[in-house]
Amino acid sequence: ETNTLPFHPFENQQGDILRVEKEHQVLKEQLKEAEEKFEQLQSRSSEEIGALEQLLRKSVEETEVSQNELDWFHQDSEAQGKKWQQEKKENRDNLKALRSTAKKHTDTNDRYLKTIDDKEKQYNVYLNTFLDTSNKFANEKVKLEELIKKSQDDCQECVKRAVKAEISVFQNWKEAEVWKLNGTVAKAEANLKMLKTLSSSASAAPLLKPQIDSWETFISNVRKQLEKVEAEYEEKMELVKSGARISLTKVEVLDIPSP
């Protein structure tokens, strides 16, 4: 559209059409110059003919005065006539050559005009085809942009739903693990409470002391595991909320054997 590249098939390289138009203009100027020279030659021949005719009349008048002058006039007239004939022949040859050149230039000019007209018609056909194709692609581009926008909106909606679903999965896994570990802690605390009750007697205290220590250690480890599970699930949910892509896997929970 900005005509910065050769337009095939009209141009083999940039500026071919402009160069043909310039050559056409040069030929027109040469033809005009030839016509002006022809008119100058014709005018000069007319002036010379008029001068010779005037000289002839003067010589006729002088024949009545002197026969010698009449002879001289005839000789001079003959010489002038030969000179005029020679110049006339030369002018005729020059005119013939100019006419031939003018005809050649005219034929060349007509050929270039016909070529330019044909190329212009082809250019208009290609231009109309290009404009139709461009409009078609523009309409398709608008449709594609609308589809892309709709797809992007749908994609964003799907991403939101996926994030919500992943958070929901992690939340459910977290609650399940927390419930399981809390249940383990509750059972362990019940056992520890029963052991402490049994160890109230002086005779049973030394025997139950190792078991009480084991259960207290077990409860502490389970509570640490509970905090770890909650922290890791919270971290995973925060990453999902921030848009990070992580694998949808459960947090590893160590199986702590009970005493």
Q: For 17-35, how does the pLDDT look when each residue is reduced to its tens digit (9 = 90+)?
A: 788 888 889 999 999 999 9
- 100 within a domain of the structure (yes/no): no
Higher pLDDT, 158 or 74: 158
Q: Is the pTM of this model over 0.75?
A: no
Counting the structural domains of the chain, the total is 1
**What is the predicted pLDDT for the residue at 69?**
67
Point out the least confidently predicted range of 55-59, 92-96, 167-171.
55-59
Whose CA is closest to 232, among 246, 256, 254, 252? 252
- Whether residue 169 is contained in a domain is answered as yes
Residue 174 lies in a domain: yes
pLDDT band at 220 (very low <50, low <70, confident <90, very high): very high
**Residue 149 pLDDT:** 93
* CA gap 155, 24 in Å, rounded: 62
How does the average pLDDT of the chain come out, rounded?
87
Instruction: Evaluate whether residue 17 is within a structural domain.
Output: no
Q: What is the pLDDT of residues 94-120, one digit of tens each?
A: 998 999 999 898 999 899 999 999 999
Judge whether residue 256 has pLDDT over 90.
no
| pLDDT recorded at residue 219 | 93
In a domain, 92, yes or no: no
Asked if residue 232 belongs to a domain, the reply is yes
Domain ranges, residue 222: 156-242
Looking up tokens 């040069």, which residue turns up? Answer: 26
Residue 31 belongs to some domain of the structure: no
DSSP string, 129-191: HHHHHHHHHHHHHHHHHHHHHHHHHHHHHHHHHHHHHHHHHHHHHHHHHHHHHHHHHHHHHHH
Give mean pLDDT, residues 193-208: 80
Which pLDDT score is estimated for 188? Answer: 92
Instruction: Report residue 202's pLDDT band, with 50, 70 and 90 as the boundaries.
Output: low
Rounded Cα–Cα distance for residues 87 and 134 (Å): 67
| 178 belongs to a structural domain | yes
Residue 225 binned pLDDT confidence (cut-offs 50, 70, 90):
very high
> What burial class does residue 73 get, using C-beta atoms within 10 Å of its C-beta: 0-12 exposed, 13-18 middle, 19+ buried?
buried
